């Protein structure tokens, strides 16, 4: 991550609230194995806080100090079991077979897919939900590096058992719209 991009994200996270979970993630909650969860690119922690309230112990990772400070304060105010970790996943490897559940929401780094799969315990679940290429036509993000092609997510999760999969337009309660792909996949023996 370049220093200029880090500065952009630090400023964005300072101004951002916690927020609500993505609808697909909320829908999948009953299917997630309880235990230790990892929230990748957690930002200010909307999914970390949500998981902790649902009974998970959460490791939240993001490279933004501002985001992790905000998340730490929010978790502490409710005595939630969230550990906020400042790290750049490009240079900090994930532990193998550690997590019962991993969330990768609104973030795409194709190079991390193998590490995410390996970080799951046997029987663990990877919940992946991010933007489709169609999103470029209606808003942020527009960079194709951060947009999935149609059915690309299905191919990326090869080797895991896909329990739920969807691609399409998500319409939020606010009326805002986003093109997203989401999957819940389990690591079998």
> Domains in the chain, start-ordered, CATH in brackets?
3-186 (3.40.50.150)
Whether the pLDDT of residue 5 is over 90: the answer is no
pLDDT in tens, 87-111: 988 888 999 999 999 999 999 999 9
Q: What is the DSSP string of 129-185?
A: EEEBGGGGGTSS---GGGSBPTTHHHHHTTTSEEEEEEEEEEE-TTS-EEEEEEEEE
Give pLDDT, residue 8: 61
CA atoms within 13 A on the CB side of 65: 3
Local structure of 103: helix, strand or coil: strand
Mean pLDDT, rounded, of the chain: 93
Exposure class string for 77-101: b at 16+ Cβ within 10 A, else e: eeebebebbeeebeeeebeeeebbb
Is a pLDDT exceeding 80 seen at residue 74? yes
pLDDT in tens, 17-49: 668 899 999 999 999 999 999 999 999 999 999
Confidence of residue 11 (pLDDT cuts 50, 70, 90): low
What's the whole-model pTM score?
0.91
Sign of CA dihedral 186, 93, 80, 25: negative
CB 143 within 8 A of CB 126: no
Residue pair 131/156 in contact by the 8 Å Cβ criterion: no
> For residues 56 and 75, what is the distance between their CA atoms, to the nearest angstrom?
12
- Over residues 126-136, the pLDDT tens digits come to 999 999 999 99
């Amino acid at each position: 991550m370049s220093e200029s991009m880090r500065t952009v994200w630090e400023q964005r996270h300072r101004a951002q609230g916690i927020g609500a979970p993505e609808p697909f993630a909320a829908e999948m909650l009953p299917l997630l194995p309880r235990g230790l969860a990892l929230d990748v690119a957690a930002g200010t922690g909307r999914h970390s806080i949500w998981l902790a309230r649902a009974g998970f112990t959460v490791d939240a990772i993001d490279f933004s100090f501002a985001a992790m400070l905000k998340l730490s304060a929010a978790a502490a105010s409710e005595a939630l079991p969230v550990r906020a970790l400042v790290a750049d996943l490009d240079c900090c490897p994930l532990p193998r077979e550690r997590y019962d559940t991993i969330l990768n929401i609104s973030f795409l780094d194709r190079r991390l897919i193998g590490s995410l799969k390996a970080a799951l315990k046997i029987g663990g679940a990877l919940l992946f939900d991010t933007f489709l290429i169609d999103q470029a036509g209606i808003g942020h993000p527009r960079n194709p590096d951060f947009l999935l092609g149609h059915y690309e997510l299905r191919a990326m999760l090869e080797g895991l058992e896909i329990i739920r999969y969807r691609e399409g337009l998500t319409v939020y309660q606010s009326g805002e719209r986003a093109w997203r792909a989401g999957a819940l996949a389990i690591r079998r023996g």
